[in-house]
Amino acid sequence: MNEAVDMSLVDWSRAQFALTAIYHWLFVPLTLGLSFIIAFMETIYVKTGSEEWKRMTKFWMTLFGINFAIGVATGIILEFQFGTNWSNYSWFVGDIFGAPLAIEGIMAFFLESTFIAVMFFGWNKVSKEFHLLSTWLVAFGSNISALWILVANAWMQYPAGMHFNPDTARNEMINFWEVLFSPVAINKFLHTVSSGFVLASVFVLGISAWFILHKRDVPLFKKSMLVASVFGLVTSIFIIITGDLSAKLIARHQPMKFAAMEGLYEGQHGAHLKVFGIITSEKYDTSLFNLPKIKYKIEIPKALSWLAFNNPDSYIPGIKDLIVGDSARNILPLQEKIRRGSFAQEKLAALQQARANKDTIAYMKLKQEFMDPSFQQNYFAYFGYAFIKEPHQVIPHIPLTFYSFHIMVGLGFFFVILFIFSLWFLFSETIEKKRKFLRLALLSIPLPYIASEAGWIVAEVGRQPWTIQDYLPTFASISKIDSGSVQTTFFLFAVLFTILLIAEIKIMIKQIKTGPKEH
């Protein structure tokens, strides 16, 4: 706890992990959504026997395969970084965090890899029904794979189903089902995979629009656009619902992140929701917190309180309240959390010293005190605050969190409108004449990628400085390695991932221009 921290190492380790995660997430959501769209199309083919649906299925399946292969490569590197760059974190929670990742590797990846071969190479070699089953199993396998990784991430945001073993100084799982079915884990899975469904729907919609604009296989891609629009509309509405629940969970369990998302500095009853705002270089508060001023705000009165607690007059604590504290509302000041966390760490150190000295009487007494539910709730719950030295350390990066949140929300509503207009033009049989809309659909392809990445920025930057909420900050999670080696691998990965991304885009464009193969 008292060792000097190499902040350069912390920054480069975080940067490398962020780089890998951002690139990895460029590939994953398309896999999640496109797998189901392909399964829907093949189901229609099996039901109708129409060769058009088979051609369409095989065309989108080819694009799925290109994306899937490159996504796997980045994902493997991401998981290795927990052991290389974040060994203290892996030691502290390895018994919990490792379980979902192990299940992901054993069950979900096995399911994908087993049936993906049948899906790609089994045409005319197995029955239509078995091939369709394989396609659906690949779709479910891809999304189950995401489930376990998201459960692990949700646990970092909301630790549940565990207890701390003072003998080993590690967190251990005591209830797997609490980890799996915590409200944060369930909502994070539903919200994240549905973002992948929306992304894939916009992807299919945009490419279908390109073919219609160029008058190529128009009947085929009108059907393709219909599947994407229906699937996209349903999932874009669903993502708004899960997003609302996500905001409520964040308000309850991560109030500092919630305040940063909305740039709320001072607590309010009936807090307004900022629809728009620009963060300036001016300072709102220069005394202790150095918070940036937000200007040109467009707000919905009392909407933030309603969003958080379904009550337009409910109180939302601001960043200053969460640091200074408010005894009337049971908000502990930061300094008190630091005191309690320090006491918990001192008690742990004394317990381990007594164990090392083989002082059985003192050891048993200290362990009983440490494991007492009252001590766990009132002191160990703030264990990570003992690492905190200054108030600014617990304030997330306001501009990045604020802008990312509002971009994500704004684009979410845009997608609903996009799918509604697409269905309107398709059912009115005017889609071929709506060339401006078709161009808009094509140009919209990058937007769900931006929204999806913005969502992860809110989730991860918004919870800083915590690797595990309230228990372990990032600067206490890193490996003791040379920052220069991390810096070197950062640039190597940046070059490698960029090459992979460019390769995917070029292969995708070539395949799209080739179009569906004739029967």
Reported as a single tens digit per residue, the pLDDT across 54-97 is 999 999 999 998 888 777 777 777 777 877 888 888 888 877 87
Task: Tell whether 155 is covered by a domain.
Answer: yes
What pTM was estimated for this model as a whole? Answer: 0.91
Task: Tell whether 39 is covered by a domain.
Answer: yes
Output the CA–CA distances (angstroms, integers) from residue 482 to 50, 81, 370, 496, in the order listed: 60, 15, 35, 22
What's the mean pLDDT in 257-284?
Answer: 91
What's the mean pLDDT in 227-255?
Answer: 96
Q: Among residues of the chain, what percentage have pLDDT more than 70?
A: 98
> Binning pLDDT at 50, 70 and 90, where does residue 287 land?
low
Quick one: 237 and 88 in the same domain? Answer: yes
Q: Which element (helix H / strand E) includes 361?
A: helix 360-371
Q: Tokens at residue 370, please?
A: 């440490």
Task: Tell whether 341 is covered by a domain.
Answer: no
Quick one: 288 and 241 in the same domain? Answer: no
Among residues 294, 323, 352, which one ends one of the domains?
323
- 199 or 98: which carries more pLDDT confidence? 199
Q: Tokens at residue 63, please?
A: 């694009």
Quick one: 154 and 280 in the same domain? Answer: no
Quick one: 89 and 234 in the same domain? Answer: yes
Quick one: 156 and 274 in the same domain? Answer: no
What's the mean pLDDT in 136-162?
Answer: 90
Quick one: 198 and 107 in the same domain? Answer: yes
pLDDT confidence of residue 319 = 94
What's the mean pLDDT in 447-458?
Answer: 96
Q: Provide the number of structural domains found in the chain.
A: 2
Q: Tokens at residue 246, please?
A: 């996500």
Among residues 272, 303, 323, which one ends one of the domains?
323
pLDDT of residue 183 exceeding 90, the answer is yes
Task: Tell whether 236 is covered by a domain.
Answer: yes
Q: How distant is the alpha carbon of residue 363 from its chain centre?
A: 42
Cα dihedral sign, 498-415-144-170: positive
pLDDT confidence of residue 2 = 46
Q: Which of 148-152, 323-327, 370-374, 444-448 has the highest mean pLDDT?
A: 444-448
Task: Tell whether 293 is covered by a domain.
Answer: yes
Quick one: 226 and 293 in the same domain? Answer: no
Quick one: 162 and 83 in the same domain? Answer: yes
39 is in which domain, residue-wise?
Answer: 7-254+396-512
Quick one: 112 and 236 in the same domain? Answer: yes
Quick one: 269 and 231 in the same domain? Answer: no
Residues 457-508 have pLDDT tens digits of 999 999 999 999 999 999 999 888 888 889 999 999 999 999 989 999 999 9
pLDDT of residue 128 exceeding 80, the answer is yes
Question: 179 CB contacts (<8 Å, ≥6 apart)?
Answer: 96, 99, 100, 151, 155, 160, 161, 162, 173, 185
Q: CA-to-CA distance for 442 and 440, rounded, in angstroms?
A: 5
Task: Tell whether 142 is covered by a domain.
Answer: yes
Task: Tell whether 452 is covered by a domain.
Answer: yes
Residues 259-269 have pLDDT tens digits of 999 999 999 99
Task: Tell whether 518 is covered by a domain.
Answer: no
> Any idea which of 21-35, 39-53, 70-84, 114-128 has the lowest mean pLDDT?
70-84
What's the mean pLDDT in 427-439?
Answer: 94
pLDDT confidence of residue 1 = 46
Quick one: 310 and 179 in the same domain? Answer: no
| Beta pairing class for 162-165 and 170-173 | antiparallel
Quick one: 246 and 267 in the same domain? Answer: no
> Binning pLDDT at 50, 70 and 90, where does residue 288 land?
low
pLDDT confidence of residue 434 = 93
pLDDT confidence of residue 4 = 65
> What residue type is assigned to position 451 of the chain?
A
Among residues 323, 339, 357, which one ends one of the domains?
323
pLDDT of residue 170 exceeding 90, the answer is no
